[in-house]
Amino acid sequence: MNTLPTPSGVTRKRPHLVMLTSVYGEHAIGGAERQVAQLAQGLIALNYRVSIVSLGARQHHHVEIAERLEIYQIALFQFYDPYQLQPNSQPVTAGAGLKLLWHGLDVYNPVMAARFGSLLDQLKPDLVMTNPLQGFSSAVWSVVRARRLPLIHVLHDHALLCPSTTMTRGDQVCDGLCLRCRSFASVRKRLSVAPDAIIAPSASVLARHQQFGWFNEVALTRVIGNALPSDWPADQARNLTGGLTNAMADSTAPMVFGFLGRLNSSKGIDTLYTALQSLQEGLQELLPNDRTPRPIEVRIAGYDESGWAMKLSQLNQSIQLGTDTGHPLKVVYVGKVAAATFLAGLDVLIVPSKAAETFCNVAMEAAACGVPSIVSDQGALPERVHHGATGWIFKAGDAEQLYEQIIGCLQHPEQVQEKAQAAWALRGESDAQQQITAYHQVIQQLLTAR
């Protein structure tokens, strides 16, 4: 292995870290993969040698070198390929039976474990960090421990508990584990060895796993939040110094609320829709009668999964047609957007999710723009607004409470400004370097104890 000089001039070994994740690079599909890629580059900057191992189309281990990062792929052994790993492959439409077989094998996949073990024998790393395990299964933990390597697992979702990874079924949210999930999770837990350390992006997702019997015996657990993308624009926030901004102080300027995410019921778009209907009906009556109600613009962005864009358009048409003088409420569906630009144009973000969110990057990104959030009380969302310090919390699914929160923002713009300033002041918590340093400390603690 490579060696590096320490500040004292003593030569030491460059630690070699293997980071396993389901998909990477061109096959990456979400925030977990972006966090893995960013963390890998940060650890390289701290003089680690990092090897990413992910699923691929090749029948043999394949290596690339990109920006000092070693990338290995292992061919997927499964009943079908949901990731379209083969070049020019078409999406697979799998029936319920085939999906059940896939998830059954993904409880403990000895073939993928053996393939990963063979690569570990080749690489001979100092430590292994696993991330999303779909396709590999938790069987890979056994081959890591058999080689007496320190093992860290990072929780990005609820995949160990629920095959859907989100504890939802369709657009319905599960309060607990259904019979199918309990069966998969109990077998997986019996067959799995425990990692040496668990890292979770929120206290909520760590507690949820411990609630169902996972990782209670692991002595080293850390909550390390996600970090802003390394290319996140530094100049997105408005001027939040002094008193109210001009836009906030001007009662004739619209207060802009926004939603960014998938448009389905599990993400709470139905709750927001009902709250908007209440705004349509009661806005003018609830605000002071001695002045024209402040205009509201609600911008909805994201992928429409269930026809909600059409419903929102129809709602806005009925709002505008319902008055001759112009209604103070306007609802706009803007589709897919660049997150930084969209968020910087809001006064308040609304995150009405009914699912147990693992972290919620969009609320973090909004705070980095100096935009406070109204969030539901599910999962990690209260953590994202520091339990009310940088935003507001309402009961998930309660459209009336959400309506009241929106009205409260209109009636008290100074509170919106205060929470915006508080969110902006805490933006350092999302700094990538702070996240990397925290991971480095956990890694060093395990390497030192080895």
Pair (221, 268) in one structural domain:
no
For residue 235, being part of any structural domain is answered with no
What pLDDT score was predicted for residue 3? 44
Residue 253 has pLDDT above 80, yes or no: yes
Residue 372 tokens, joined: 């406070």
For residue 233, being part of any structural domain is answered with no
Rounded to whole angstroms, the Cα distance separating 215 from 197 reads: 9
For residue 234, being part of any structural domain is answered with no
- How sure is the predictor about 60, in pLDDT bands with cuts at 50, 70 and 90? low
What pLDDT score was predicted for residue 353? 96
Residue 150 tokens, joined: 């320190």
Pair (13, 160) in one structural domain:
yes
Full residue range of the structural domain in which residue 97 is found: 3-227+431-449
Rounded to whole angstroms, the Cα distance separating 180 from 169 reads: 11
Amino acid, res. 375: V
For residue 50, being part of any structural domain is answered with yes
pLDDT (tens digit, 9 = 90+) per residue, 326-368? 678 999 999 999 999 999 999 999 999 999 999 999 999 999 9
What pLDDT score was predicted for residue 6? 40
Pair (358, 426) in one structural domain:
yes
Pair (438, 347) in one structural domain:
no
Pair (169, 34) in one structural domain:
yes
Say how many CA atoms lie within 13 Å of 122 toward its Cβ.
Answer: 13
For residue 208, being part of any structural domain is answered with yes
For residue 404, being part of any structural domain is answered with yes
- How sure is the predictor about 231, in pLDDT bands with cuts at 50, 70 and 90? confident
Rounded to whole angstroms, the Cα distance separating 226 from 201 reads: 6
Residue 290 has pLDDT above 50, yes or no: no
| Nearest of 163, 196, 199, 168 to residue 181 by alpha carbon | 163
Q: pTM (2 decimals)?
A: 0.89
Tell me the average pLDDT across 97-114: 94
Pair (211, 311) in one structural domain:
no
Residue 440 tokens, joined: 């480095």
- How sure is the predictor about 2, in pLDDT bands with cuts at 50, 70 and 90? very low
Residue 407 tokens, joined: 């009205």
Could you tell me if 255 and 295 are in contact, meaning their C-beta atoms sit under 8 angstroms apart? yes
Pair (316, 187) in one structural domain:
no
| Nearest of 369, 368, 349 to residue 257 by alpha carbon | 349
| Nearest of 371, 350, 426 to residue 245 by alpha carbon | 371
What average pLDDT does the structure give for the chain? 87
Residue 281 tokens, joined: 């009906």
- How sure is the predictor about 247, in pLDDT bands with cuts at 50, 70 and 90? low
Pair (189, 52) in one structural domain:
yes
| 3-5/11-13 β-pairing | antiparallel
Pair (210, 273) in one structural domain:
no
Pair (173, 55) in one structural domain:
yes
Residue 27 has pLDDT above 80, yes or no: no
| Nearest of 206, 237, 204 to residue 221 by alpha carbon | 206
For residue 267, being part of any structural domain is answered with yes
Residue 260 tokens, joined: 């960014």
Amino acid, res. 108: Y
The CATH number of the domain holding residue 410 is 3.40.50.2000
Does residue 41 or residue 179 have the better pLDDT? Answer: 41
pLDDT (tens digit, 9 = 90+) per residue, 388-424? 999 999 999 999 999 999 999 998 999 999 999 999 9
pLDDT (tens digit, 9 = 90+) per residue, 165-207? 888 776 677 877 888 888 888 889 898 999 999 999 999 999 9
Residue 86 tokens, joined: 């083969």
For residue 236, being part of any structural domain is answered with no
Rg of the chain on CA atoms, in Å = 24
| 11-13/49-56 β-pairing | unpaired
Pair (198, 289) in one structural domain:
no
Pair (175, 284) in one structural domain:
no
- Element counts in the chain: helices (H) and strands (E): 15, 18
Q: Output b/e per residue, 332-367; b: 16+ Cβ within 10 A.
A: ebeeeeebbebbbbbbbbbbbbbbbbbbbbbbbbbb
Phi, psi of 110 (to 5 degrees): -65, -30
Residue 62 has pLDDT above 50, yes or no: yes
Q: Based on the structure, what is the number of domains in the chain?
A: 2
